[in-house]
Structures are given as structure tokens and as C-alpha cells.
Amino acid sequence: MPASLCGTWDLISSANFEGYMIALGISPYLRKIALKLKLRKVIEQQGDQLIIKTASPFRNYTVSFRVGQEFGEFTQGLDNRHVKSLVEWEGSKLVCEQTGEKKNRGWAHWIEEDKLHLELYCEGEVCKQVYKKNVNE
């Protein structure tokens, strides 16, 4: 894959995570907890499978998939919805479309200046996060 996303990445900035969570219908109580979390992404490749683990002291979320192959995703512990997901490379961006009840839902990951960038989309809301590589993990 272009500019390997693999590794352990720690959140250094987050914008409009609140707006994204509101769009998903996450309760105010959970949003308040989630906003304070030190999120970590652990991205691994096993053969043609990509695994993205979002880890936090509160809750973890893992998704694994093959690029270009649609799969059923259950967003357990997040908004608990079933979506059809498809992840594809668009240039150097890894882009996921999550088709379901919520319109224009998905995310994009890419590398820029040694940082892992993430945009999360839902119904017009965009959350922008940046992660820095954790070389100790």
C-alpha cells in the first residue's frame, strides 16, 4: 500500500469529533467521555487483510477488511449500526464508504508529513484527526 499506514499511532489533534458523534446519534453522556479519550490507532496488514484497531481506555473498536471487497460492518460500542462498508485506495488515500441508515458516512486515512490523518464523515459533519507515530509500541 502507498506510504504504509501500518504502525501504532496516537491522537494529537481532533476537530469536530462532537459534530460527528451528534450526527451518529451518540448520547451526550457517551460523547462527553469519548471527547476526552486518548485514542490510539493500531494498523496492521496480514496478507491482503488490513486491520484497524481504535484503542482507548474506555472502549476498543476493530475493523478488518480486504481493500476493494465490500463487507458487513457492525459498529459495536460506537453507534451500534449495521452498515455495508467498502474500502478503496483513492490515490494515496484509503477511503471507506459506509452505506446504511446514515447518509454520506465514511472515513479517509492518509499520511502527510509522517503523521496519520483521518477524516470521519457523517451526514455533512466532518471530524478531522491527526495521529503521530508511536515508535515505542
Which letter does DSSP use for residue 18 in this model?
H
Binder to ligand VLZ among 9, 107, 110, 121 (CB under 6 A)? 107
Helices (H), the chain: 17-24, 28-35
Q: Would you give the end-to-end CA distance of the chain in angstroms?
A: 21
Q: How far is the CB of 106 from ligand VLZ (least distance, A)?
A: 9
Q: How far is the CB of 1 from ligand VLZ (least distance, A)?
A: 14
Q: Which amino acid is at 100?
A: G
Q: Any idea of the CA torsion for 84, 38, 134, 49, to the nearest 10 degrees?
A: -10
Angle (CA) 96 78 104, round 5°:
35
Q: Between 37 and 66, how does the x/- string for binding to ligand VLZ read (CB under 6 A)?
A: x---x----------x-x-x-xx-x-x---
- The answer to whether residues 109 and 5 touch, using CB atoms and an 8 Å cutoff, is yes
**Residue 86 interacts with ligand VLZ (CB under 6 A): yes or no:** no
**Chain residues 7-26 in contact with ligand VLZ, contact rule CB under 6 A:** 26
- Name the residue whose CB lies closest to ligand VLZ: 34
Binding positions for ligand VLZ, rule: CB under 6 A: 26, 30, 34, 37, 41, 52, 54, 56, 58-59, 61, 63, 78, 107, 118, 120
